Amino acid sequence: MRLLLFGGSYNPVHVGHLIMAQEVARQFGYGLVALVPSLNPPHKSMAADPGPERRLEMLRIAIEGDPGLVADDCEIRRGGTSYTIDTIRDLASRYQVEGKIGLLLGDDLVPGFGDWREPGRLAAEADIVCARRLHAERLDFPYPHRYADNPIVAVSSSMIRARIAAGEAFRQFLPRGVRDYIVAGGLYGLR
């Protein structure tokens, strides 16, 4: 089976994440997408974090019933700072993977990729797929990669958190079960 890693904070998971995962898997023939929520991402602060267990639960709710997506908690179980190179190696040891694991990067992460832990090793051990998230044009990226032809879905977790905190409309950006979970738990300053 061909496996694609799609890591992130998922704070919260939204429809843009799911569309990107499914579109890239379809375009490049991945049989399974492992969505891996970070415990402690090294290059991102975790604003209004409801905790890794709740983010994982929202992810599980969001993908329920989709056999092409799996929520993998390896970074939460591993503890410490979440480095993608460690996650690639962990997934390779646990899944029956055909070829290299794919690594899905939104184009918002392309400029900072060189600052990741062992970016050269990561590019050698994984097949990198860049997906459009913010930019219609392809960005320069000095590592071997392919670019997805995916729709840009103008939604982000930070935007959703800000809309919830401000009492603005947010529900349509989220899968129904995630929306219900946030409302029931009063997450992200929901009033």
Measured from the Cβ of residue 13, the count of other Cβ atoms closer than 10 Å reads: 27
CA–CA separation, 92 vs 34, rounded Å?
Answer: 11
Could you state, in chain order, the average pLDDT of each consecutive group of 10 residues for the chain (191 residues)? 97 98 98 96 82 97 97 97 96 96 97 96 98 95 97 95 95 97 94 73
- Joined together, the tokens standing for residue 6 give 């799609």
What CATH number is attached to the domain comprising 138?
A: 3.40.50.620
CA–CA separation, 24 vs 163, rounded Å?
Answer: 28
Contacts of 56 (CB under 8 A, 6+ apart): 10, 37, 71, 73, 76
Q: Rounded to a whole number, what is the distance in angstroms from the first to the last CA of the chain?
A: 44
Tell whether 20 is covered by a domain. Answer: yes
| Predicted local distance difference test score (pLDDT) of residue 43 | 74
| Predicted local distance difference test score (pLDDT) of residue 148 | 98
Tell whether 80 is covered by a domain. Answer: yes
Gyration radius of the chain's alpha carbons: 16
Tell whether 178 is covered by a domain. Answer: no
Tell whether 22 is covered by a domain. Answer: yes
| Predicted local distance difference test score (pLDDT) of residue 97 | 96
The four Cα atoms 98, 100, 106, 110 give a dihedral, to 10 degrees, of -170
Domains of the chain: total: 1
Tell whether 74 is covered by a domain. Answer: yes
CA–CA separation, 7 vs 103, rounded Å?
Answer: 8
| Predicted local distance difference test score (pLDDT) of residue 73 | 98
Q: In what order do the strands lie in the sheet with 3-8?
A: 69-71, 32-37, 3-8, 101-106, 126-131, 145-147
| Predicted local distance difference test score (pLDDT) of residue 40 | 85
| Predicted local distance difference test score (pLDDT) of residue 122 | 97
pTM of the model: 0.95
| Predicted local distance difference test score (pLDDT) of residue 190 | 87
Tell whether 100 is covered by a domain. Answer: yes
Give residue 128's domain range.
Answer: 3-153
Provide the pairing of β-strand 126-131 with 145-147.
parallel
Mapping DSSP to helix (H, G, I), strand (E, B) and coil, where does residue 79 land?
A: coil
Tell whether 115 is covered by a domain. Answer: yes
Estimate to the nearest angstrom the gap between the alpha carbon of 90 and the chain centroid.
17
